[in-house]
């Protein structure tokens, strides 16, 4: 009996051992399937990652290429800016030279224009049409009539005469100025001197005035001395304007010439301080 029982126990153990082995094999088989799935998943992830890495590599390569292109462009722009800076400096220097030259040329032109007017006189107040189509002969006869025939030992030589260049006025409007170019500068001096001495001048009952013919710029320059000229005259100085715009002042037997109103004003201030 005991041997039989032992035999049964061995058989039972063998059966249990076989069942356990089968379970283990089943478990191993299941784990193998899971491992296969994991391996497949890992392979898929690996391929996906590799594909994405390839895309990233391509993108980085493209970005590097664009970066290098941008860098070259920036270098080109920097070179162009440096070249432009040099050109700008050259242009600025040229512009300054041109400004200086333009100032000198403008001064020369103004001087030439002013000197071309020095032999002109402006006659104001003569009615339109009094010259009857021959303005030059009219002015040759008009000046001695206004200033006195006895003051002219010979006829005044007039080169040309014209009315100011503006539309002809209506009968009730002021007549245009007559501008006459006198041939001799001495005659111009005498005409202007006599016109001041014999003022007021009358022609056919109308008042007539004779003035120098200055350019607009010279007129402005001379007008700038008006205020200080009055101050100096009131202080007892004798003042006169020289062409184009220089103030000559005689005071206490001394003579001074001022090129600007500011210089003359400082002299007038000194006279005021000396009189206090």
pLDDT score, position 139: 96
Sorting pLDDT into bands at 50, 70 and 90, what band is 67?
confident
CB 158 within 8 A of CB 180: yes
- Give the residue carrying structure tokens 């390569």: 61
pLDDT, tens digit (0-9, with 9 covering 90-100), for 226-264: 999 999 999 999 998 888 889 999 999 899 999 999 999
Which residues face 242 on adjacent strands? Answer: 246
pLDDT, tens digit (0-9, with 9 covering 90-100), for 107-150: 888 888 888 888 999 999 999 999 999 999 999 999 999 999 99
CB 215 within 8 A of CB 114: yes
Tokens of 21: 């082995």
User: Is 275 a residue whose pLDDT tops 60?
Assistant: no
> What mean pLDDT do residues 85-98 have?
92
CB 228 within 8 A of CB 268: yes
Q: What's the whole-number average pLDDT of the chain? A: 86
Give the number of other Cβ atoms within 10 Å of residue 120's Cβ: 18
pLDDT, tens digit (0-9, with 9 covering 90-100), for 7-49: 566 566 556 666 666 677 677 767 767 777 777 877 777 777 7
Name residues whose C-beta falls within 8 Å of residue 222's C-beta, 6 or more positions apart in sequence: 214, 241, 244, 245
CATH code that applies to domain 118-213: 3.30.70.1820
Sorting pLDDT into bands at 50, 70 and 90, what band is 6?
low
**DSSP 8-state symbol, 84:** H
pLDDT score, position 4: 52
Percentage with pLDDT > 90 across the chain: 51
> What is the side-by-side strand order in the sheet with 201-203?
158-163, 178-182, 120-124, 206-212, 201-203
- Tell me which of 54 and 13 has the higher pLDDT: 54
User: Is 217 a residue whose pLDDT tops 90?
Assistant: no
Indicate the fold that domain 219-275 takes in CATH. Rec A Protein; domain 2 (3.30.250)
């Amino acid at each position: 009996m005991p041997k039989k029982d032992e035999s049964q126990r061995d058989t039972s153990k063998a059966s249990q051992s076989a069942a356990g082995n089968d379970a283990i094999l089943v478990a191993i088989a299941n784990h193998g399937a899971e491992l296969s799935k994991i391996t497949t998943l890992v392979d898929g992830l690996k391929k996906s990652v590799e594909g994405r890495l390839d895309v990233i590599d391509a993108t980085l390569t493209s970005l590097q290429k664009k970066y290098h292109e941008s860098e070259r462009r920036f270098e080109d722009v920097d070179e162009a800016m440096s070249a432009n800076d040099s050109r700008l400096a050259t242009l600025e220097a040229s512009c300054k030279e041109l400004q200086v030259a333009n100032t000198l040329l403008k001064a020369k032109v103004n001087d030439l224009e002013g000197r071309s007017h020095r032999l002109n006189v402006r006659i104001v107040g003569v009615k339109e049409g009094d010259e009857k189509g021959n303005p030059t002969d009219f002015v040759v006869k008009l000046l001695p009539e206004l200033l006195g025939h006895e003051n002219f030992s010979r006829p005044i030589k007039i080169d040309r005469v014209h009315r100011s260049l503006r539309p002809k006025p209506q009968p009730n409007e002021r007549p245009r100025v007559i501008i006459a170019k006198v041939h001799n500068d001495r005659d111009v001096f005498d005409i202007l001197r006599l016109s001041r001495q014999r003022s007021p001048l009358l022609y056919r009952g109308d008042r007539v005035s004779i003035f120098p013919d200055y350019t607009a710029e010279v007129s402005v320059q001379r007008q700038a001395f008006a205020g200080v000229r009055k101050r100096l005259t009131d202080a007892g100085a004798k003042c006169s304007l020289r062409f184009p715009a220089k103030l000559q002042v005689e005071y206490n037997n001394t003579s001074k010439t001022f090129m600007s109103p500011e210089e003359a004003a400082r002299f007038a201030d000194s006279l005021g301080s000396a009189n206090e």
